[in-house]
A and B are shown apart, each in its own frame.
Chain A
Amino acid sequence: MAKKIEGSPGYAPGTRVSTKDIVQKKISYSWWEPEVQYSWSMGQAMSKFIMGLKDGKILGRTCIKCDRVLVPPRMFCEYCYGPTDNWIELKDTGSIETYSISYLDSDARRIKDPILIGVISIDGASPQHGFMHYFGEMTKEEIHIGMKVKAVWKAPKDREGAITDIKYFKPLKGGGKK
């Protein structure tokens, strides 16, 4: 028969240690730093999209059956599960779907000048179709959801076929007001 317990969990096993215990070697530990590299083929859809960015173009893909313009583009539609139909060139403008003002870098280290980051819905694509990118030429007070923005591109000679061929999105002239 089960044990009668007044308050469960009745106890809390485990031994708390602090970073200090580790630094001062008060507990035994082993250490390892993995060294490994990867390369990823971008595949059919992303290769074309990324090479489009190198040419200064944002490309989408249509699904006629679902009446969708897909950004990021894919070769198949996840809803109707058929092949998508055509490549389509879109404007390099859009609106801010959501954003954050980040004081953290990718290792959670603190940074003084915040990064403005968010999702842009690209004009001419289906609603809420777009990608994540940085924002610039705006203050953290000015940025807002729904703000109209335009891509700022690297100079053609500096582009390398990457999402970072767009430097950031800036307020679209006349579209920056709250």
Chain B
Amino acid sequence: MNDVAVIGAGMTVFQRRLKETGKELSYLATKMALEEAGITKKDIDMVVMGSAPDAFDGIHQKGENLLDGAAGAGKPYVRVFNGGGTGVFAPIAGWWHVASGVADIALVVCEEKMGNCYPHPQTAFRHIWDPILDRPLAPNLVWLFAMEMNRYMTKYNIKKEDIARVAVKNKRNAVGHPCAQLPDEKITIEDVLNSEMMAWPVQRLDISPPSDGASALIFCSKDKVRQFTDDPVWVDGVGWNIDSTMWTNRDLSFPRYVANAARMAYKMAGIHNPRKEIDFAEPYDPFDYKELHHMEGLLLCNKGEAPILTREGVTERDGNMPMCPSGGLMGVGNPIAATMGQKICELYWQLAGKAGKRQIPTDPQVGVGQAWGDIMQMATVAVLRRG
């Protein structure tokens, strides 16, 4: 396999609704990544598009719809998709385009426009439930996460206030992010605990918002990377794994598929002790409890230990193991696939020392990013390292 480096990234503002079409957002994010890499469309060999369910945009097979905006016209182009896992799976697909040697430079573009869907994107989520067993019960997708959160809290005796700390941390971290939808410097644990009850134990401020947005990333082979930078950031390992769709037959207290994906990525990256060898992480945080759940799934701490480490400040930007220094989905927003901007672009910006106000002060060398999707079953993981 060829070594693969990141040479540019971009992202649009994330917001409940943006005026630009998905195609235009793809163009804006891509243009930014091209500028940062110092290249143009003609330098791109192949393009990967990541976008989650068509039902949000209301445009079927939206890969084609987005194509021209993603610099894909006239090139090898493919859309990949695994629900919420897409934001890290699309860069994994971009990585293998270059690692396999079929491309020297691959562009990855992720887009989501959830604001198109009325009365609420939750209405489109109705269509992902099993039509025989689940849909006759008129479910809301938040139920799934509420049930998983409850199982996790009950099994490890976790208090809601220790989960609320994640929402507070991430919304505060997002203050330094120019694209952020919900940065909040002044938010407190009490604000989260007093927010509207949606589906116990999930309250309004436990959830990331639906958003419009796009992000882009450019990968380059080792052979060509010195043309673009003296200080590359490398993709050291990738992993993905999916558990059975029979979610009512699984113990929801631990995401074993995340652990499987993490082990795959760590093995490829030559990481034997992730707690010591990884400096920071961007675990997928569409809900505050998911950051904790995923820290454990990523084998960065023991089962049930993530809330304790969070309480002790270990996961703050200046802590020993910063989590979601970007501000995550909780603070920056959740345009599903486009969260590649927090989960992978942020790793690149942090490792390249370009994260500005969000920069981790301790000179991080290795970071792991992760996303999660389908029916609480899909994990996608990537490990990046400073050159």
**Using Cβ atoms and an 8 Å threshold, which residues of chain A touch B58?**
32, 34
Quick check: B147 and A100 within 8 Å, CB to CB?
yes
Q: In angstroms, how far is the closest chain B Cβ from the Cβ of A162?
A: 5
Nearest CB to that of B212 among chain A residues?
A14
- Stretch with Cβ within 8 A of A (4 or more), from B148-156, B256-264, B267-275: B148-156
Quick check: A7 and B120 within 8 Å, CB to CB?
no
- Stretch with Cβ within 8 A of A (4 or more), from B98-106, B162-170, B350-358: B350-358
For A14, A71, A104, A134, which residue has the most chain B Cβ atoms within 10 angstroms? A14
Secondary structure of the A contact surface, majority rule? loop
Q: In angstroms, how far is the closest chain A Cβ from the Cβ of B344?
A: 13
**Using Cβ atoms and an 8 Å threshold, which residues of chain B touch A106?**
122-123, 126, 138-140
Quick check: A128 and B133 within 8 Å, CB to CB?
no
Contact of A58 with B by CB under 8 A: no
Option from B19, B131, B133, B179 in Cβ contact (under 8 Å) with A9:
B179
Contact of B298 with A by CB under 8 A: no
Complex-state Cα separation, A117 to B19, whole angstroms: 38
**Using Cβ atoms and an 8 Å threshold, which residues of chain B touch A117?**
137, 139, 143, 147
Q: In angstroms, how far is the closest chain B Cβ from the Cβ of A130?
A: 6
Quick check: B198 and A103 within 8 Å, CB to CB?
yes
Complex-state Cα separation, A13 to B212, whole angstroms: 12
- Stretch with Cβ within 8 A of A (4 or more), from B33-41, B74-82, B282-290, B301-309: B33-41
**Using Cβ atoms and an 8 Å threshold, which residues of chain A touch B359?**
7
Quick check: B357 and A7 within 8 Å, CB to CB?
yes
Interface size class of A (residues with CB under 8 A): 35 or more
Quick check: B150 and A99 within 8 Å, CB to CB?
yes
Option from A12, A16, A102, A109 in Cβ contact (under 8 Å) with B178:
A12
**Using Cβ atoms and an 8 Å threshold, which residues of chain B touch A140?**
200
Complex-state Cα separation, A100 to B345, whole angstroms: 35
**Using Cβ atoms and an 8 Å threshold, which residues of chain A touch B17?**
16-19, 22
Option from A50, A72, A97, A109 in Cβ contact (under 8 Å) with B151:
A97
17 inter-chain pairs at a CB distance below 8 angstroms, sorted by A residue, are: A5-B36, A7-B359, A9-B32, A11-B32, A12-B178, A14-B20, A70-B249, A72-B246, A100-B199, A102-B199, A102-B200, A103-B198, A106-B123, A107-B123, A132-B139, A132-B143, A140-B200
- Chain A contacts to B: CB under 8 angstroms: 1-3, 5-19, 22, 27, 32, 34, 38, 40, 42, 46, 50, 70-72, 74, 78, 97-109, 114, 117-119, 126, 128-134, 140, 145, 162-164
